[in-house]
Structure 1
Amino acid sequence: MDSDARPPEVHPQMMSLYVDSAVRDEVEPLLATGLFRGMTTNPTLLHRAGLTGADLPAVYDWAVAAGSREVFVQAWGADAGAIEASGRKLRELGDATVIKVAATGAGLQAAAKLAADGIPVLVTVVYAVHQAVSAAAAGAQFLAPYVGRMADLGLAGREDTLQMHRILQSSGTGARVLAASVRSTADLVALAAGGVDAFALPVPVCRALLHDAHTETAAAAFDALSAEW
């Protein structure tokens, strides 16, 4: 080995928070805080914002302009070929685009094809631990378990999500859990304490991360004293 050769620089994985919304007036102020890496969308969120797939180029443009380093958009189609084709088309929005595919048989097949060509993929609508194995085998970059919805069904949302995290950690693929359907800061804290470091958060949870009543009371007292200096 060349004595002058240096090992590649290793950067620690950073906590990655994403705003789970397509409403511009909600997303832009949160991106402006610098705490959020980007935004996640899906057809339901677009519909709630009064948008359709035709609006995605404009959504992508304003999100990136506001500081989003990653914009997640969902591919669709009746079969694997159609999902793959829509994913490739969506990737043309720009380099910040991450393609979301549902964790169906067709979706996983499309994910494998997209990932094989270097297109970043998130496997979404995940409810079962074994889907982490499938997503890792497909080469997905992210896996999105629906933590709150799993709990609604009587499943162990937090515990199963942490098990998925451990599976991906041991897979050697670099794939990460991106926890979705996170309904409270308590969910976020429990998962983060277990090692999960990527979250798609609804706007109320994003805003809750910026505030604590005790902290604000103490900060106000400091401000009152410093005003006298």
Structure 2
Amino acid sequence: MKFFIDTANLNEIKEAYDLGVLDGVTTNPSLMAKEGISGDENVINHYKAICDIVDANVSAEVIATDFEGIIKEGKELAKLDDKIVVKVPMIKDGIKAIKYFSSEGIRTNCTLVFSPGQAILAAKAGASYLSPFIGRLDDISFDGLDLIAQIVHIYQNYGFETEVLAASVRHTMHLVKCAELGADVVTCPLKVITGLLNHPLTDKGLAQFLADHAKANK
């Protein structure tokens, strides 16, 4: 499973990269705004800075919602770096744009996916990644993990090459369950990834080892 970090914070990206498990970054306008990044030039420069840190897979989202606008923005983003994956919304013109980008060899991430039907359309259009939003489904009393299971099963049935990128991952159990279900990628905050480090028995065992070492060396 690939680990992407869902942020625009350069310090968090560096920390995740230094941990040795980072495979990519996903961003969106909301995450950029959270870091105080605004204006086209500043956003572009920030994407470049992210690409300078990671080895691959930086999802950069288009703002346009019409076919021509998505194509224009997507081409500009793709030119920034080979690591860029153009993030396109699950809308009619978005699917058309994904088909176009696929034919041009530009990688895409189809975002804001909430149903198996949407997942099928994105895969048939040639999306590189598909982002079902687990947490947002949980928020409205639907089981987001069920959607991951459905999509993984459908993609396996037909050999679709689109990778399932579980998004809106809120906690470590989301991440672990996605791994069990066969999601190709998870994208989440840094705290979810570092949360995998924690177990009370590890802490207890280490404390005991250190205490025993201290006694033996008095």
TM-score of the superposed pair, with normalisation by structure 1: 0.87
Shift of 1:216: 2.7
Counterpart in the other structure of 1:50: 36
Three-state SS of the structure 2 residue aligned to 1:92 is helix
Confirm whether residue 188 of structure 1 aligns to residue 160 of structure 2: no
CA–CA separation in structure 2 for the residues paired with 1:198 and 1:154: 23
Between the aligned residues of both structures, percent identity stands at 32
Shift of 1:194: 1.3
Confirm whether residue 117 of structure 1 aligns to residue 104 of structure 2: yes
Confirm whether residue 33 of structure 1 aligns to residue 19 of structure 2: yes
Shift of 1:226: 5.3
Decide whether the 8 Å contact of 2:107 with 2:127 is kept in 1. yes
Query: For structure 1, which segment, 79-88 or 201-210, has the greater mean C-alpha deviation from structure 2 after superposition?
Result: 201-210
Counterpart in the other structure of 1:155: 142
Three-state SS of the structure 1 residue aligned to 2:32 is helix
* Equivalent position to 2:10, from 7, 24, 28: 24
Three-state SS of the structure 2 residue aligned to 1:178 is strand
CA–CA separation in structure 2 for the residues paired with 1:50 and 1:114: 30
Decide whether the 8 Å contact of 2:149 with 2:181 is kept in 1. yes
Decide whether the 8 Å contact of 2:148 with 2:181 is kept in 1. no
Decide whether the 8 Å contact of 2:116 with 2:150 is kept in 1. yes
Confirm whether residue 85 of structure 1 aligns to residue 72 of structure 2: yes
Confirm whether residue 103 of structure 1 aligns to residue 99 of structure 2: no
Amino acid at match of 2:99: A
* Equivalent position to 1:216, from 199, 203, 206: 203
Shift of 1:223: 4.3
Q: Deviations over 1:96-129 (max 9, x none)?
A: 0011100011111111101111111110001111
Q: Deviations over 1:53-80 (max 9, x none)?
A: 4323332333233234211110121411
Three-state SS of the structure 1 residue aligned to 2:80 is coil
CA–CA separation in structure 2 for the residues paired with 1:85 and 1:194: 36
Query: For structure 1, which segment, 65-74 or 50-59, has the greater mean C-alpha deviation from structure 2 after superposition?
Result: 50-59
CA–CA separation in structure 1 for the residues paired with 2:210 and 2:47: 39
Amino acid at match of 2:157: S
Decide whether the 8 Å contact of 1:17 with 1:35 is kept in 2. yes
Confirm whether residue 144 of structure 1 aligns to residue 131 of structure 2: yes
Q: What runs of 5+ residues in structure 2 fail to find an aligned partner?
A: none
Three-state SS of the structure 1 residue aligned to 2:49 is helix
Amino acid at match of 1:150: L
Three-state SS of the structure 2 residue aligned to 1:182 is coil
Aligned length in residues: 215
CA–CA separation in structure 2 for the residues paired with 1:37 and 1:216: 28
CA–CA separation in structure 1 for the residues paired with 2:102 and 2:48: 24
Amino acid at match of 1:60: Y
Counterpart in the other structure of 2:58: 71
Q: What runs of 5+ residues in structure 1 fail to find an aligned partner?
A: 1-14
Decide whether the 8 Å contact of 2:23 with 2:57 is kept in 1. yes
Decide whether the 8 Å contact of 2:65 with 2:94 is kept in 1. no
Decide whether the 8 Å contact of 1:32 with 1:66 is kept in 2. no
Amino acid at match of 1:140: A
Could you say what the CA RMSD is over the residues aligned between the two structures, in angstroms?
A: 1.8
Amino acid at match of 2:64: G
CA–CA separation in structure 1 for the residues paired with 2:180 and 2:65: 39
